[in-house]
């Protein structure tokens, strides 16, 4: 349930979205008389959970950044086992949501990209790497002002704690090849991720094939040159340079900002020269490996993921070892995210993680269901958007015509629906995804994120089910992952045979 007031000062108006780390609420600051966005992170008693630590890190990283294109952090409050991040409220849609309706016009994407690049260049100047740049973290207002949000996994040089938690807490889809191989995060990885995000916006699809298996995704990124943009016009060469496979010759964020600004201002022949003249092979000139037919390009909307096992090649043993280590870290990050509270939390990205984390322990809380007041702000999901991927962003009402493989008889038997749901997992994520209502899907993230999460779980066992009335069920679960087990109790709400809300008890 959404609280009515937070920290004795912020009146909750409504929920505006959900991410890997929890819900985001529009609130009225009764002291200063202004609107703010408040993001809840964490969910278990005790402040030392990774999410609380992450929230405080996010606050620290972002609060020190004052830039018109960075979502301002006003405060971080610990209350009731959560950290509440008090942020600037930005009535907006994410770039992911915008591009889910189809490819965007190149100069518009360049203008959005320039603003984000300028913000990130400022962050890099002070030693902060964002590490989770993706379309879902770029908020775009009605007048196309862009703000980068969620420095949740940002790392400021010298943050040893985060170094230990590993690099793979971002969304793999936007990882650079070096990051995919397990390298330490660097500013150049943000350049790549922004280039990949702009690619997605202008092409209407992510640069890589969709893969449910995180390891396969990382191997694919590490081993393949990125595709050349087809619809980007004057923006194409800039995106290709930002996605230069060699970080040494990739432009800096400041250079990228300059080039993007020139394209946005229709001066394509000017500033980009500095970027395009950089030495070294560029992604644009690299041979493009055809995408295997079993691994379709990832559209930004509603596309089933396909697992493509990485091709075997003896010469790649060292890289694979690095990738396996990276995947193990990712699995831990994902598991922690979901089991501890992302789920109470995530992509994504993966992470929520997957933006990452996902109902799978579906990571959404009971508030995400059908009783939510529709958002009247710009962050409201576009009803025309294919729901399964409108994802990293706002929460939608369950669709009355959502299909489900569940026996309609089970609609009145919430306990059985939940049992059947977990019986499908972790093996048949596609069928399990079909049991989630639209609100749950939105709060969980994309199907790809969901499948990526479940790929990290070896087994899930239902230890007990108790129906508590009104379609709500308490279920005791034990997850097995990487040889270890973790138990938790979740409260799940079923409506018309679909899971519409879920949270850790």
Task: List residues forming the annotated binding site for ATP.
Answer: 39
Window of 82-90, 227-235, 316-324, 461-469 that interacts with ligand ATP by CB under 6 A: 82-90
Reduced to 3 states (helix: H, G, I; strand: E, B; else coil), residue 140 is strand
Task: From the candidates 29, 132, 496, 502, give the one annotated as an active-site residue.
Answer: 132
In 3-state terms, what secondary structure has residue 2? Answer: coil
Known catalytic membership, residue 29 = no
Among 181, 352, 372, 441, binds ligand ATP (CB under 6 A): 352
What are the beta bridge partners of residue 487? 478
335 lies in the binding site for ligand ATP (CB under 6 A):
no
Residue from 6, 201, 394, 410 binding ligand ATP (CB under 6 A): 394
Binding site, by residue number, is 39
CB 88 to ligand ATP: min, Å = 6
Residues that contact ligand ATP, how many (by CB under 6 A): 29
Q: What's the CA gap between 108 and 210, in Å, rounded?
A: 26
Residue number with CB closer to ligand ATP (24 or 114): 24
The residues, any chain, with a CB within 8 Å of residue 431's CB and separated by 6 or more, are: 405, 424
Sheet holding 22-29, edge to edge: 5-6, 10-19, 22-29, 34-41, 82-88, 73-79
Phi/psi for 35 (5° steps) reads: -85, 145
Stretch that binds ligand ATP, among 149-157, 211-219, 404-412, 486-494 (CB under 6 A): 149-157
Whole-number Å distance between alpha carbons of 462 and 190: 40
Min dist. Cβ of residue 13 to ligand ATP (A): 11
List the one residue out of 481, 339, 485, 473 whose CA is nearest residue 419: 473
Q: Work out whether 393 is an interface residue with ligand ATP (CB under 6 A).
A: yes
Q: 175: how many CB neighbours lie within 10 A of its CB? A: 28
Answer for which of 10, 74, 84, 89 binds ligand ATP (CB under 6 A) is: 89
Phi, psi of 207 (to 5 degrees): -70, -20
Cβ proximity to ligand ATP: between 19 and 366 the closer is: 19
Compute the least distance from the CB of residue 491 to ligand ATP, in Å: 21
Q: Report how far apart the first and last C-alpha atoms of the chain are (Å, whole number).
A: 12
Q: How far apart are CA 384 and CA 321, in angstroms?
A: 43
Assess 71 for contact with ligand ATP (CB under 6 A): yes
Under rule CB under 6 A, residue 150 binds ligand ATP: yes
62 binds ligand ATP (CB under 6 A): no
Q: Which is nearer to ligand ATP, 71 or 435 (CB)?
A: 71
Q: Which of 303, 389, 392, 449 binds ligand ATP (CB under 6 A)?
A: 392
Candidate ranges 4-12, 108-116, 148-156, 472-480; the one touching ligand ATP (CB under 6 A): 148-156
Residue 383, number of CB atoms within 10 A of its CB: 10
Nearer Cβ to ligand ATP (138/264): 138
| Contact predicate 244/259, CB 8 Å | no
Q: Which pair of tokens denotes residue 337?
A: 């995210």
Instruction: Indicate whether 136 belongs to the interface with ligand ATP (CB under 6 A).
Output: yes
Residue 355 binding ligand ATP, by CB under 6 A:
yes
Sign of CA dihedral 425, 429, 434, 439: positive
- Cβ nearer to ligand ATP, comparing 179 with 284: 179
Which residue, 119 or 259, is less far from ligand ATP as judged by CB?
Answer: 119
Residue 118 burial (CB count, 10 A): 22
Beta strands of 174-214 (E only): which ranges?
205-209
In terms of Cα–Cα distance, which of 497, 399, 413 is closest to 441? Answer: 399
Which C-beta is closer to ligand ATP: that of 324 or that of 378?
A: 378
Q: Which of residues 282-311 bind ligand ATP (CB under 6 A)?
A: none
367 binds ligand ATP per the rule CB under 6 A? no
Region binding ligand ATP by CB under 6 A among candidate stretches 116-124, 196-204, 220-228, 346-354: 346-354
Count the Cβ atoms, other than its own, within 10 Å of residue 471. Answer: 22
In the sheet that holds 93-94, the strands lie side by side as: 93-94, 138-140, 146-148
The site for ligand ATP (CB under 6 A) is made up of: 16-21, 24, 37, 39, 71, 87-90, 92, 94, 136-137, 149-150, 152, 346-347, 352, 355, 379, 392-394
The catalytic residue positions are 132
């Amino acid at each position: 349930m959404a609280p009515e007031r937070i920290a004795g000062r912020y009146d909750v108006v409504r929920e505006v979205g959900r991410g890997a780390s929890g819900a985001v609420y529009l609130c009225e600051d009764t002291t200063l008389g202004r609107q703010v966005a408040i993001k809840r992170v964490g969910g278990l008693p005790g402040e030392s959970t990774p999410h609380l630590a992450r929230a405080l890190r996010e606050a620290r990283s972002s609060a020190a950044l004052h830039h018109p294109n960075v979502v301002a952090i006003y405060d971080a409050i610990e209350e009731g086992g959560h950290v509440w991040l008090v942020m600037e409220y930005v009535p907006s849609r994410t770039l992911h949501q915008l591009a889910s309706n189809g490819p965007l016009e190149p100069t518009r994407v360049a203008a959005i990209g320039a603003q984000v690049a300028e913000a990130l260049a400022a962050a890099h100047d002070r030693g902060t790497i964002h590490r989770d740049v993706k379309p879902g973290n770029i908020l775009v207002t009605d007048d196309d002002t862009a703000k980068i949000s969620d420095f949740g996994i940002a790392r400021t040089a010298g943050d040893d704690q985060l170094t230990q938690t590993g690099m793979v807490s971002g969304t793999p889809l936007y990882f650079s090849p070096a990051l995919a191989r397990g390298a330490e995060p660097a500013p150049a990885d943000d350049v790549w991720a922004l280039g990949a995000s702009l690619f997605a916006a202008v092409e209407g699809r992510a640069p890589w094939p969709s893969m449910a298996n995180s390891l396969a995704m990382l191997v694919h990124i590490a081993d393949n040159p990125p595709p050349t943009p087809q619809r980007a016009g004057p923006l194409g060469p800039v995106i290709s340079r930002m996605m230069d496979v060699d970080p040494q010759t990739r432009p800096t964020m400041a250079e990228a900002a300059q080039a993007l600004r020139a394209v946005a201002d229709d001066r394509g022949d000017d500033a980009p020269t500095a970027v395009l003249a950089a030495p070294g092979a560029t992604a644009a000139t690299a041979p493009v490996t055809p995408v295997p037919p079993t691994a379709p390009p990832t559209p930004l909307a509603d596309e089933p993921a396909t697992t493509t096992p990485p091709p075997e090649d003896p010469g790649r043993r060292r890289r694979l070892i690095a990738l396996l280590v990276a995947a193990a870290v990712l699995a831990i990050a994902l598991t922690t995210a979901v089991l501890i509270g992302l789920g109470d939390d995530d992509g994504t990205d993966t992470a929520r993680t997957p933006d990452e984390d996902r109902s799978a322990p579906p990571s959404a809380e009971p508030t995400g269901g059908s009783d939510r007041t529709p958002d009247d702000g710009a962050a409201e999901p576009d009803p025309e958007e294919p729901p399964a991927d409108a994802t990293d962003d706002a929460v939608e009402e369950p669709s009355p015509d959502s299909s489900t493989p569940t026996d309609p008889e089970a609609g009145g038997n919430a306990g059985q629906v939940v049992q059947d749901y977990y019986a499908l997992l972790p093996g048949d994520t596609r069928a399990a995804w079909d049991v989630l209502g639209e609100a749950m899907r939105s709060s969980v993230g994309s199907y790809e994120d969901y499948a990526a999460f479940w790929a990290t779980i070896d087994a899930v066992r239902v230890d007990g089910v108790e129906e508590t009335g009104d379609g709500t069920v308490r279920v005791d679960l034990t997850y097995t992952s990487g040889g270890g087990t973790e138990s938790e109790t979740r409260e799940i709400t079923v409506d018309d045979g679909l899971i519409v809300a879920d949270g850790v008890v």
